[in-house]
Amino acid sequence: MSLTETSVEMPKRRALTESPLVRGQSRSTSAGIAALAEYLPPRVATLSELAAEGLLSGSAETLASFGFGSVHLAGEESNLEMAVAAVEKLFVENDIDRDEIGLVLYATALSSSSTMWNAGSPRTTKVSPDSGAGSSPGKGSRLEPVLELNEVADLFRYPATQLQSELDLPNAAVIGINQLGCASIFAALRVARAMILAEDDLISVLCVSADKFPPSHKRDLIYNVVSDGACAALVRRGAARNRIVECSHVTKGALWDAGSLENEILAAYFPTAKSVIDRTLEKAGLTIDDIALVIPHNVSLRSWEILGRLIGCPPERVYTDNIRRVGHTVASDTLLNLRLAEESGRIKRGDLLLLFTFGYGLNWACMVVEH
């Protein structure tokens, strides 16, 4: 399957509530998530199907009791193809002018996602009149993964820049954000906001996240079930929609080794999560009672029951609807949930939302946005 063959239903256009600012317009001191889109692979597997395929190390019953039901599994599509699909959906649905995008932040969680290992075709980048930058490769052009390091050039091929090429974003510089686990997209949003506020000529930043779990690996990870997926968000200067009010990010490098420190990581999760959430609210001059809805990452429902109690938030104000249906899409959960919360009518303009995630590395990230 090539990049163009990614099977995504063509989204319908919808009007953005704000127009992009143009150069020369007065500089806004805020930024918001003006548009959101996601891509979930069409194949869905239930816990029992995962167990039957040998893709669970723990018991399906226990995982079900933690709130999981099914996950999306990528087939042939690579993580980069999923990223492209999410962005194309974002562009089409929101009628976005590609030229307004001055920066792409490609945020990935898995180490494999930030290399060409899972990026799909490493196409020869020779530009011919028939195949300009951004055009899709022809059928059969896919090669095997290139992380073979047969030549020095293999060390300098990057999925983030290939993404820019695929998306035809000539005005956009590209930065890869990784090594933050599932918190990578939060780092992208934070950096996007900071750069927009710092650079006069930067209007819009495209934040993209995509991760494809290694196909043969067990899908349950510290009692969560991992799904494949991608999300894309347009952070725009002055956007009133999902205005980023405040964010916090804590890294605990002492717990970097996910393989050997699982117990310590599990034990650190709740106290640090509460601390990061409390700190974010305090910085924003808010309390949890001001938050209309918590937009979580799709980890165990039980863990959200506990964390909800710790931060003083009742279960009905934590948007956990997608844990059972989607599972944990690594870095894409929170934006996916934000979009679905919008679509479901659970939130209205002006609502204050608290977004939270946790990622290996070890990272906790929290953000308050005004919808």
Partner 1 sequence: MKRRSVLITGATGAVGSELLRRLAQRPVSVNALVRRGDDRQAEITSILSGVPLAADLAVVAGDICAGPAMGLVPEAVASLTRHTTHIVHCGGSTSFSLPLGEARRVNVEGTRNVLEFARSCPLLESAAFFSTVYVSGRRSGTFAESDEGDGGFGFVNTYEQSKAEMEALVRAAMTELPILLLRLSTVVGDSRTGAVRGFNAVHQAIRLLYNGLAPMIPGDPGERVDIVSSDFVADAALHLIDNHPAGGVFHLATGAEASTLDDLIGSTVDSLLQFRPAWRKRSIERPLLVDLDTYELFVRSVEETGNDVLRSATRSIRTFAYQLAHPKLFETRKTFAALGGSGITPRPPLDFYPRVVKYCLESNWGMQQC
Dig out the tokens for 148 from the structure: 């073979």
Q: List the Cα angle 190/301/292 in 5-degree steps.
A: 55
- DSSP designation for 81: H
What is the C-alpha end-to-end distance of the chain, expressed in Å?
Answer: 38
How far apart are CB 309 and partner 1 at their closest, in Å?
A: 4
Pairing of strands 31-39, 229-237: antiparallel
Residue 78 neighbours by CB distance under 10 Å: 24
Q: Which amino acid is at 163?
A: L
Rule CB under 8 A: which residues touch partner 1? 58, 62, 65-66, 223, 252-255, 262-264, 266-272, 274-275, 300, 302-303, 305-306, 309-310
**Based on CB atoms, which residue is closest to partner 1, 314 or 350?**
314
Q: Which is nearer to partner 1, 66 or 213 (CB)?
A: 66
Least separation in angstroms between residue 282's CB and partner 1 is 16
Task: Tell me the Cα Rg of the chain.
Answer: 20
Nearer to partner 1, 265 or 295 (CB): 265
Distance (Å, rounded) from C-alpha 65 to C-alpha 60? 9
| Shortest Å, Cβ 275 to partner 1 | 6
Q: Is 11 helix (H, G, I), strand (E, B) or coil?
A: coil
Place of tokens 């002492």: 254
CA within 13 Å, CB half, 347? 26
Q: Which pairing describes strands 243-251 and 363-370: parallel, antiparallel, or unpaired?
A: antiparallel
| Cα separation, 105 vs 160, whole angstroms | 8
Whether residue 7 contacts residue 143, with contact meaning beta carbons closer than 8 Å, is answered with: no
Nearest distance from C-beta of residue 225 to partner 1, angstroms: 13
Closest contact distance (angstroms) between CB of 363 and partner 1 is 12
Rounded to 10°, the helix 184-198/333-344 angle is 80
Least CB distance to partner 1 at residue 264 (A)? 5
Print the SS3 string covering 93-121.
HHCCCHHHEEEEEEECCCHHHHCCCCCCC
Nearer to partner 1, 40 or 273 (CB): 273
User: CB of residue 250 vs partner 1: minimum separation in angstroms?
Assistant: 8
Looking at the Cβ atoms of 271 and 314, the one nearer to partner 1 is 271
Minimum CB separation of residue 270 from partner 1 in Å reads 5
Kindly tell me which of 169 and 255 has the beta carbon lying closer to partner 1.
255
Cβ proximity to partner 1: between 133 and 254 the closer is 254
Residue from 83, 147, 143 nearest 112 by CA: 147
